């Protein structure tokens, strides 16, 4: 009996030691997962893009940069220009002065269209993890000044010259979107297009241009909607920049980690795992690229953000990466919606021109948009939100889109539109645009 009891005690002792060893191994594994080990890098060859510089002799950005450097406009002038251009505070004398001071610069800016293509400099992050694009604000100002010049020409009776000038601005914005830049540059290009289009629409009420010219311009605007190839390239550039940021943060570049943080990094303890974070971004950008050119109703759902409760963040072992990805994912969702809005805005401009041409020919607006096809438009432009033709209310005299909620609520009235700030129209259930002719 004594021998058997000793044997049992030994077995129990060994079991305890084995269990203790397993617990230690589990704790060690958990510690390594949370604080040290990273996953393998993502397979992202399809998301990479190589920058191939084109010769300056073929690059319209050469003259655009010269024009931006020659811009004679102070920051306070720019604020006043914005107010007077977009807040119905037109001052012909003030605008004429600005245009006269910058007329040669505007001509140089437009010469970019004579080149084979436009390519902005390759984007890289500096030591502070910033991406320097100082030329974008100057290009926006040049586009606005050119729109002002168009309005002055229109007021002088040079209507076709004014409309052609605005079409050139729209074309420049479109080509800037395909200039190998990032998402910010793409949206700036979209903003340039929309700004020129809004000025053009403001002229429609008083224009005496023939229906044939307006019909031709309406058809041309169709080619300035979303450029799917440019969007895909933009997203790849953006992914490349995000991977640079991940690597820099993982190495502590551009971050003030403090003494404790630097000591933890030296010991191999990390709350930011570069490969795990890159895998999150790779999955997001694959979904974004697959959705390019599709209406929101047919778009693939984006990967969900990581869980943000404290235990989940700790368990996932990538607190820094998960939190930064969560914020960035929200930004990219907003960018996706803004691209849809810009595309729809160009489609609205097409319809406005076609409707004006129709009214000149027939004396009244059509009861339905299908009356515009094929004499004024080859087909009706689609709503980037639900893929169906843009809506039109003959009774309310508005063109509208279903918006982000994808529900057709019948559009807005002119009175309702007037109450909404112009830049917030896309927050409405049915963003609507009044027909004022």
Residue 395 lies in a domain: no
Structure tokens at 197: 């289009």
HSE on the CB side for 137, CA within 13 Å? 9
Asked if 174 and 227 touch (Cβ cutoff 8 Å), the reply is: yes
Are residues 374 and 358 in contact, defined by beta-carbon separation less than 8 angstroms? no
**Full residue range of the structural domain in which residue 101 is found:** 56-230+409-434
Beta partners for residue 59, in sequence order: 117
Distance CA 429, CA 401 (A): 9
**Does a structural domain hold residue 372?**
no
Q: How far apart are CA 167 and CA 110, in angstroms?
A: 11
Q: What is the pLDDT of residue 263?
A: 45
d(CA 182, CA 269): 33
Cis peptide before 240 (omega within 30 of 0): no
Q: What is the pLDDT of residue 173?
A: 97
Is residue 66 one of the residues assigned to a domain? Answer: yes
- The percentage of residues in the chain with a pLDDT greater than 70, rounded to a whole number, is 85
Distance CA 250, CA 238 (A): 18
The per-residue pLDDT for 249 is 85
**Helix runs in 111-210, H state only:** 135-155, 159-177, 183-204
Asked if 288 and 335 touch (Cβ cutoff 8 Å), the reply is no
25 falls within a domain: no
Q: Is the residue at 314 inside a domain?
A: no
Task: Give the containing element (helix H, strand E) for 64.
Answer: helix 61-70
Residue-level pLDDT at 53: 95
Q: Assess contact for 346 and 221: CB atoms under 8 A.
A: yes
Provide Rg for the chain, Cα atoms: 29
For the chain, how many structural domains are there in total? 1
Question: Structure tokens of 306?
Answer: 């990581």
Measured CA to CA in angstroms, residue 127 lies from 73, 181, 184, 253 at distances of 30, 20, 20, 7
Residue 33 lies in a domain: no
Instruction: Please state, in angstroms and rounded to a whole number, the distance separating the CA atoms of residues 71 and 404.
Output: 38
Helix, strand, coil shares of the chain, percent, nearest 5, are 65, 5, 30
- Tell me, yes or no, whether 419 lies in a domain: yes
pLDDT at 378: 97
Q: Give the chain's residues under pLDDT 50.
A: 75, 257-269
* Structure confidence at residue 149 (pLDDT): 95
Q: Tell me, what DSSP letter sits at residue 420?
A: S
Report the residue count for the chain: 437
Residue 306 lies in a domain: no
pTM to 2 decimal places: 0.87
374 cis-preceded (ω within 30 degrees of 0): yes
- Beta bridge mates, 393: 398
């Amino acid at each position: 009996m004594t021998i058997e009891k000793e044997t049992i005690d030994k077995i129990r002792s060994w079991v305890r030691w084995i269990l203790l060893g397993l617990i230690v191994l589990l704790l060690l594994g958990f510690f390594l997962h949370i604080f040290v080990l990273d996953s393998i890098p993502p397979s992202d060859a399809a998301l990479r893009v190589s920058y191939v510089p084109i010769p300056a002799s073929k690059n319209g950005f050469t003259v655009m940069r010269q024009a931006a450097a020659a811009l004679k406009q102070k920051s306070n002038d720019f604020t006043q220009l914005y107010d007077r251009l977009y807040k119905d505070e037109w001052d012909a004398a003030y605008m004429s002065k600005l245009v006269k001071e910058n007329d040669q610069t505007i001509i140089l800016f437009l010469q970019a269209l004579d080149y084979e293509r436009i390519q902005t400099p390759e984007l890289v992050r500096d030591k502070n993890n910033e991406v320097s694009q100082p030329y974008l604000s100057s290009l926006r100002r040049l586009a606005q000044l050119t729109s002002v010049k168009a309005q002055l020409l229109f007021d002088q009776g040079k209507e076709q010259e004014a409309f052609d000038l605005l079409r050139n601005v729209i074309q420049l914005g479109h080509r800037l979107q395909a200039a190998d830049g990032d998402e910010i540059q793409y949206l700036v290009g979209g903003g340039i297009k929309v700004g020129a289009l809004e000025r053009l629409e403001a002229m429609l009420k008083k224009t005496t241009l023939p229906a044939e010219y307006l019909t031709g311009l309406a058809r041309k605007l169709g080619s300035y909607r979303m450029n799917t190839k440019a969007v895909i390239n933009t997203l790849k550039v953006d992914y490349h920049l995000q991977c640079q940021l991940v690597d820099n943060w993982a190495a502590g570049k551009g971050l003030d980690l403090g003494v404790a943080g630097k000591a933890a990094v030296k010991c191999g303890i990390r709350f930011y795992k570069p490969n795990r974070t890159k895998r999150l971004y790779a999955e997001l950008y694959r979904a974004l690229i697959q959705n390019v050119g599709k209406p929101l109703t047919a778009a693939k759902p984006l990967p969900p953000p990581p869980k943000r409760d404290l235990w989940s963040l700790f368990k996932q072992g990538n607190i820094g990466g998960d939190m930064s990805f969560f914020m960035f994912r929200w930004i990219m969702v907003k960018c996706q919606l803004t691209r849809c809005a810009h595309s729809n805005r160009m489609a609205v401009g097409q319809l406005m021109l076609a409707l004006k041409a129709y009214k000149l020919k027939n004396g009244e607006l059509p009861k339905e948009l299908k009356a515009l096809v094929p004499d004024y438009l080859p087909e009706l432009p689609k709503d980037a939100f639900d893929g169906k033709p843009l809506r039109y209310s003959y009774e309310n005299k508005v063109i509208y889109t279903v918006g982000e909620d994808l529900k057709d609520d019948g559009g807005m009235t002119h009175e309702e539109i007037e109450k909404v700030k112009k830049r917030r129209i896309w927050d409405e259930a049915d963003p609507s645009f009044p027909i004022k002719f």
